[in-house]
Amino acid sequence: MQLLNASGCLDALTAPHVASSFDAFVTKTVTPEPRAGNAPVRIAETDHGMLNAIGLANPGRQAFLDETLPQLARKIDVPIWVSVGGFCVRDYVETCEQLSRNDVACIELNLSCPNVDEAPEAAAEVVAACRRVTAKPLYAKVSPHSWDMGETVRALEAAGADGISMVNTLRGVALDMRLQPALARGAGGYSGPALKPTALAAVLAARRATALPIVGMGGVCTGRDALEFVACGATHVALGTVLFADVDAPTRVRQELVAAATRAGFDAPEDAYGVALEAVARLAN
């Protein structure tokens, strides 16, 4: 099991030692053109999570390839996964083509932007088109807003995905003291501890539909949380919001994971892989 960061939750250029404490570092989403992101206020804490509306702020594909990627390669000593975003199929394809010529371990397609959100056909179309232009491992990052996660994941696999990253944030709204949206943009992506049950359900559903590797994420704060994702069928686990509260979370979660496995009666965390699936399958039948 590898421990990764969730895309958008860590800047390896400002905190290279944190990035290097993961098994691989996942970049913020790269889009073809530079994006300043949304106007502030961009974040708001809620009782059991947080909302963000950063808006895919990034330097754009050319600056990423010319400047950011070489700097990352110098500053961190773990494999680099690049999160790729876009607003049409061609956006994704062109970025994947260019990344194929670089020292990138994996491409994670951020399929949770409004144009492809909640549409397995569109998401699969993006994956299929990217598959044709790159031999790099392709992971599809999916939204939890899916009525049938099994169907979504089967479509992504058929299109050529090598793995699934799940889940992205849920859409949410928080109101301030004057009952106005706390975020300037109104709605944002909801993450943190409250997302975990939704994410576990998504991983379970996906694991029942595919044998592909799954990066499970959504509200992981402790080693026990990570173990639960493994039990639901995740092969890897990613940390997101917890990184904002605890810069040392990668090391801590690893240590806790071993202890949590022991407490649950397993010799090693990997031994707990998929153990929650059988009961769920029985219930479903």
Partner 1 sequence: MSRPRRERLRVTAVEALGPYALVRVARGGVDPGVPGQFFMLEAPGRVLPRPMSLCTAPRGELAFLVDAIGPGTTAIAALERGDRLHVFGPLGNGFRLDVARPLLVGGGIGIAPLPYLAEALEHPPALLGFRSELHAQAAVLLPNAEVVIDPVLVTDALPLDRDVLACGPEPMLEAIRALAPDAQLAWEAPMACGYGACYGCVVEIDGELQRLCVEGPVLCSS
Binding site for partner 1 (CB under 8 A): 8-11, 14-15, 18, 28, 36-37, 39-50, 52, 54, 57, 192-193, 241, 243-248
Beta carbon of residue 263, minimum distance to partner 1 (angstroms, whole number): 22
Token pair 């409250």 is found at: 194
Beta carbon of residue 283, minimum distance to partner 1 (angstroms, whole number): 31
- Taking the least distance from each CB to partner 1, the nearer of 87 and 244 is 244
Give the residue from 261, 206, 215 showing the smallest Cα distance to 236.
215
If residue 161 lies in a helix (H) or strand (E), which one and from where to where? Answer: none
Token pair 């039990």 is found at: 231
- Taking the least distance from each CB to partner 1, the nearer of 36 and 135 is 36
The catalytic position among 88, 96, 113, 221 is 113
- Taking the least distance from each CB to partner 1, the nearer of 206 and 249 is 249
Torsion sign over Cα 66, 137, 205, 236: negative
- Taking the least distance from each CB to partner 1, the nearer of 10 and 153 is 10
- Taking the least distance from each CB to partner 1, the nearer of 199 and 272 is 199
Quote the CA–CA distance of 182 and 184 in Å, as a whole number: 7
Beta carbon of residue 5, minimum distance to partner 1 (angstroms, whole number): 9
Beta carbon of residue 41, minimum distance to partner 1 (angstroms, whole number): 6
Quote the CA–CA distance of 62 and 123 in Å, as a whole number: 24
Token pair 């421990």 is found at: 3
Q: Which residues contact 52 (CB under 8 A, 6 or more apart)?
A: 8, 42, 43, 169, 188, 189, 191
Quote the CA–CA distance of 239 and 222 in Å, as a whole number: 10
- Taking the least distance from each CB to partner 1, the nearer of 8 and 85 is 8
95 φ, ψ to 5°? -70, -40
How many residues can be counted in the chain? 285
Beta carbon of residue 228, minimum distance to partner 1 (angstroms, whole number): 18
SS (H, E, C) 76-101: CCCCEEEEECCCCHHHHHHHHHHHCC
Residue 121, token pair as written in the block: 């056909």
Beta carbon of residue 200, minimum distance to partner 1 (angstroms, whole number): 18
Residues facing residue 2 across a β-bridge: 236
Give the residue from 241, 211, 184, 223 showing the smallest Cα distance to 55.
184
Whether 88 is catalytic:
no
The conformation of residue 41, written as its DSSP 8-state character, comes to P
Q: Which residues are catalytic?
A: 113
